[in-house]
């Protein structure tokens, strides 16, 4: 019985972690593509970019951190589910 409960908890944690991972990762990818496009345009134009942090780079870091947290939750859920399988 304990194994089944752990499996269910693990699956629930994986689903919750995936839910937390999905939106920030999509936002991070969009910001990264936008940043690459701006860099390409400015290099074509010949302008120099300021090397300091921008609002987009701060948002990218936040999205990356949130996605990493979701990934850790998915991994923890998988570990819990595996332990539950071993206890069956």
Tell me, what's the pLDDT at 57? Answer: 84
pLDDT over 90 (residue 11): yes
Spell 33-61 as b/e; 16+ CB within 10 A means b.
eeeeeeeeeeeeeeeeeeeeeeeeeeebe
CB atoms closer than 10 angstroms to residue 30: 12
Tell me which residue of 11, 31, 27, 4 sits closest to 74, measured CA to CA.
11
Provide the percentage of residues in the chain whose pLDDT is more than 90. Answer: 65
């Amino acid at each position: 019985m304990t194994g089944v409960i752990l499996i269910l908890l693990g699956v629930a944690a994986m689903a919750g972690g995936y839910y937390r991972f999905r939106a920030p990762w999509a936002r991070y990818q969009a910001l990264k593509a936008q940043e690459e496009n701006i860099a390409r345009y400015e290099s074509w134009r010949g302008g120099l970019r300021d090397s300091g942090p921008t609002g987009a780079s701060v948002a990218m870091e936040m999205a990356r951190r949130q996605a990493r947290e979701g990934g850790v939750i998915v991994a923890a859920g998988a570990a819990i589910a595996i332990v539950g399988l071993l206890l069956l």
